[in-house]
Homo-oligomer: A and B are copies of this chain.
């Protein structure tokens, strides 16, 4: 009898009787309902992040010259494909499967598949023999394992997308794609296992909500290493030390790409709550959306104002990179309950990009789209900001930034270098002049839109 009483009390019979028909007022989300919510959150937020591949493709297509546009489109389509295959073949297991407590790498096993519990549930459903035990077993994970895989996979692709923009207009297609194989199959998953795989950095307390460091700085470090080893585009830095601007061919596409990235970022940050199956999770995700939007907005406006003040001009590309830098900056800690801080964090990101883009040019590091500033520098800033405004320790955040940076730089450099001395990574001078589209693809991205300049 006591148990019945507990049941009635817990279920809040009073309100139940009042309302008559509805469920008791504070009845929680059931476990199976939570499973569906969590899974659907991974899928919805995952497809948002997937579209970021299109965002990067358009951003980069808009910022390269006409003659290198088809090549950058191809690289973006291919890198997203490779990221998916590599993360399926090896990456997910390296990142998440059997990472030892405090460890630095997961399992070398091949492929990743649905859990047995889910297979049993699906079989039982087909056979119409579902029992509570079977559902309970599948619900144990809290979400469908493949929905989690899908969500994690699109993050890998983002890291690879960052690289393609920086090294555009002079890298050969196939060597670039081999680098993507290594980045998405090995470099990214190993460093990510340190935090999201519950490895040593996680144990230390390093905090990176959605990947300012794990995704954006990782992509940025790989891009920086590539830019240095590859060298600048022909004609970018004149012998007299002056910098030649090389304007992009299609700025509305770059604008579209940035809007798509912003759109996808709600998935990137919102989905990184990793759950939607309770009021707390839903409320947390809403806060993440708001902070994400405010930081991007503040980054855009700050970059515009900074460009006006510093360079006396209103500049579209700074505004675009300001938005991206704002987004990257908030990615390590978009769960702030004081939204004004998100504006501050994003605005500083926007200023960082405005200042560092010309600085990189001064030291002759040629980043075609500004990705090193927007993803690496803003990523470092965002990760530190968690130590300043959020729950993290500034020292631990710095340790994470440095150790992941060192790992990515070393492994990327080895990969780029091995590719350089074997098959070569750079097109020859003539190819660079006539453009990668004609040289490597034998086609023209815009065959009827006037003659190419430069």
Q: Is A339 an interface residue (CB 8 A)?
A: yes
Contact assessment for B316 and A70 in the assembled complex, using a CB-CB cutoff below 8 Å: yes
Q: Which of A111-119, A227-235, A359-367 contacts B (4 or more CB under 8 A)?
A: A111-119
- Whether B323 contacts A57 by the Cβ 8 Å rule is no
Establish whether residues B8 and A278, one from each chain, have CB atoms under 8 Å apart when the complex forms: no
Q: Give the complex CA separation of A131 and B279 in angstroms.
A: 12
Is A35 within 8 A of B314, CB to CB? no
Asked if B150 and A340 make an inter-chain contact with CB atoms under 8 angstroms apart, the answer reads: no
A279 to B153, CA, bound (A): 22
Mask: chain A, 58-69; 1 = CB below 8 Å from B; 0 = not: 100110011001
CB within 8 Å of B: which of A38-86? 39-44, 46-48, 50-51, 53-54, 57-58, 61-62, 65-66, 69-70, 73-74, 76-78, 80-82, 84-85
Q: Does A394 lie at the interface of the complex (its beta carbon under 8 Å from any beta carbon of B)?
A: no
Q: Which residue of B lies closest to A173 (CB)?
A: B314
How many Å lie between the Cα of A92 and that of B16 in the bound state? Answer: 35
Are B43 and A111 touching (Cβ within 8 A)?
no
Say which one of A236-244, A376-384, A406-414, A442-450 lies at the interface with B.
Answer: A442-450
A33 to B34, CA, bound (A): 9
A280 touches B16 (CB 8 A): no
Q: How far does the Cβ of A310 sit from chain B's closest Cβ, in whole Å?
A: 14
Would you call B81 and A323 a contact (CB within 8 A)? yes
The 3 closest A-B pairs by CB, nearest first: A54-B259, A450-B450, A81-B297
How many copies of the polypeptide does the oligomer hold?
A: 3
- Flag A18-39 by CB within 8 Å of B: 1 or 0 each: 0011111111111111011101
Q: Any chain B CB within 8 A of the CB of A258?
A: yes
- Decide if A17 touches B21 in the complex (CB within 8 Å): no
Say whether B69 contacts A251, CB under 8 Å. Answer: yes
Closest to A291 in B: B146
Task: Kindly list chain B residues whose C-beta atoms are within 8 Å of the C-beta of A29.
Answer: 23, 30, 32-33, 36
Cβ–Cβ < 8 Å partners of A447 in chain B: 247-249, 453
Interface string of A274-303 (1 = CB under 8 A from B): 001111111111110110011011101100
B residues within 8 A CB of A340?
111
Q: How many angstroms between the C-alpha atoms of A41 and B44 in the bound complex?
A: 10
Contact residues in B for A131 (Cβ distance below 8 Å): 21
**Interface set, chain A 199-219, CB cutoff 8 A to B:** none
Contacts of A54 in B (CB 8 A): 256, 259-260, 263
